[in-house]
Each structure stands twice: as structure tokens, then as C-alpha cells.
Amino acid sequence: MVIPCIELCPNSLIMERKNFLRSLGLLAAGTMVPLKGKSVVTINEPLPTKQRSMRIAHLTDAHIADNKNARNGFIKCLHAIQQMEDTPDYIINGGDAIEDALYNTKSNVNKQWDLWHSILKNECSIKVNNTIGNHDIWGLYTEKKDFLYGKKFAQEKLHMEHTYYSVDQCGWHIIFLDSTQKKSNGMWYTAKLGEEQIDWLSRDLAATPANTPVLVVSHIPILCANIFLDNVKQRFGKFQIPGSWMHTDVQEIVTLFNQYPNVKLCISGHIHLQDKVQYNNVMYCCNGAVSGDWWRNEYYHQTKAGYAIIDLFNDGTFENNYMHYA
């Protein structure tokens, strides 16, 4: 805000002028800027104080199973989060909540989901928002005619109306994507969004105010570096990276994000390894796994079993820190 120019005053009027400005609070809050024959008083608007909007615990790849290591380990993780001095506002389940539904019978899958819900009910008091992972999908091909075949089973168990959705929370827009699609032969799975979801994502981002920061959640990484460390094969001097490890439509997604500077952070799991990749001012964080090496070992390669604590701030900045609980 700029006060209109005031003519320079003769010496006899200096004190009167100072008293007038002091009554407006301008001597304390403003700056006198001399111009040619003029004096301008500019009020410095106070900058907004950086404040945390919310704290999220990102738990991915819990792979809960009916064995001691899985049950005790998941409970230990949940207790560690809830016993923090600065407790998260809510939890994001990054997918692969259960051990595996792809190649199991309906009754077996039901037991896995029952165990997941039993542990959350008895051991967790923090609200959970869900993401679908590849192992959450019921993909036993012999059961294809069942109504719940595919993602419907996971949607029912996770109370998800849609496999992808977005929410507005504490000044941030959070987008939950569905990374897992059928291959061209109808079998599960490859990592991509598909035309319908890409169209929805484009419209969702366009409808989000430009000053609202965006967090994107996917199970499979949109972009990561750790796929080169996960037993990737080389043939004829070239890396051979499976289309199920990272989004095969990464270029399309990154091109879309490039149109929206308010897209700040993308988080994922799936690889069970932890890394951070920044590209075009967007940070991509792959946040390890609660289960480590599928509960066989607390380490998977060099990444220890854990979860991420994510602090989102009102100025669009963030902190993503990977934590160990074992």
C-alpha cells in the first residue's frame, strides 16, 4: 500500500508532520523514500508467518499377514507414530495394506483384510486415508466372474467409492491416484493411470486454485531412482526395467504437472526403498516400506523398515522425513 505523495515540508513544519505520521503508525511501519521534490511513505505489509498446516504419517507396503512378525511389527509401527510428542493429524495408507490378494482365494483375501481392520481398530486412533496398491487387488484369474474380482474387493474393504479421488485439507489439495491397471492381455498389472484417470487428473488440477499447494499420492512411483538398485537386470548393456516398477506414463504425467507450479510433492511406495528425486521443482519421495523385506528382514537392500512423517506448511513448502520404528 502506498500513501499519496506528500509535498516536502519547510523546517517549521517538520515536527507537525512527524506527529501526523506517528499517529498513523507510519514511522514505525513505513519507509521514507525520497523522490524528485517528493517524499513517499510506503507501508511494509507484514509477511505471513510460515505455519504448519498439518502433519501426515505416510505408511506404505504394510503387507499385513497372519504371522507374528507382520502383526507385531505393524502394531509397533502404529504405536511409534501415536507416541510421538508431535502426533500426526492423520495417516495415509500408501497401498499394499495386505500381504497379497493377486494370487489368493477369496476366503484367504477376506482373512487378510479382517486382520488389517482388526489391528487398526484395536491399535490406532488416527484417521486413515487409503490408496490402492497392486497387492490389494484380487487378481486370481480363475475368479474373474466374481463381482468383487479386481479392485472392487479392495474398494469394499477400504470403503472407497472410487479408486482415485482428491480432498482439500487445511489449505492443501491432496490427490490420491490409482497406479495399477490391467495389461493389454487382461492380466494384472502395469503401472499407469489410463486415459480416463489422466483426463480426471487434468480437470482436477485445472479446478484447483493456483495458490493452493498440491500433494499427490500414488502407490507406484511416478518418478524414482531406486528402481536401478532393486535387482534390475541388464541385457546387451541396457537396463531392463519392468513396466510394473515405475509409471510407464511418467512423461505424460510430468508434462501435466509442469503446467501447474502448485504441484509440490508426490509420495509413493511399492519399491520398499527410500529415495528423493526432484525434477522441475516437484519433489518425488518414495517412502520405503513398513514391512521392510516383506517381514523377512527389517532391511530391504539398504532401506530399513519405516514410514515417513510429512509436514505441510501454509506457504506451500514441506518436509518429508523417513523414520525407523524397529
For the entire predicted model, the pTM comes to: 0.84
- CATH number for the domain running over 52-324: 3.60.21.10
- Domain spans, the chain: 6-43, 52-324
Contact 270, 60 (CB under 8 A): yes
**pLDDT score of 44:** 61
Q: How far apart are the first and last CA of the chain?
A: 55
199: Cβ contacts below 8 Å, ≥ 6 apart: none
Query: Cα–Cα distances in Å, from 253 out to 31, 177, 206?
Result: 46, 12, 14
**Residue 217 scores a pLDDT above 60:** yes
- Tens of pLDDT, residue by residue over 69-125, are 999 999 999 999 999 999 999 999 999 999 999 999 999 999 999 999 999 999 999
**Residue 9 scores a pLDDT above 70:** no
* Count helices and strands in the chain by DSSP H and E runs: 7, 20
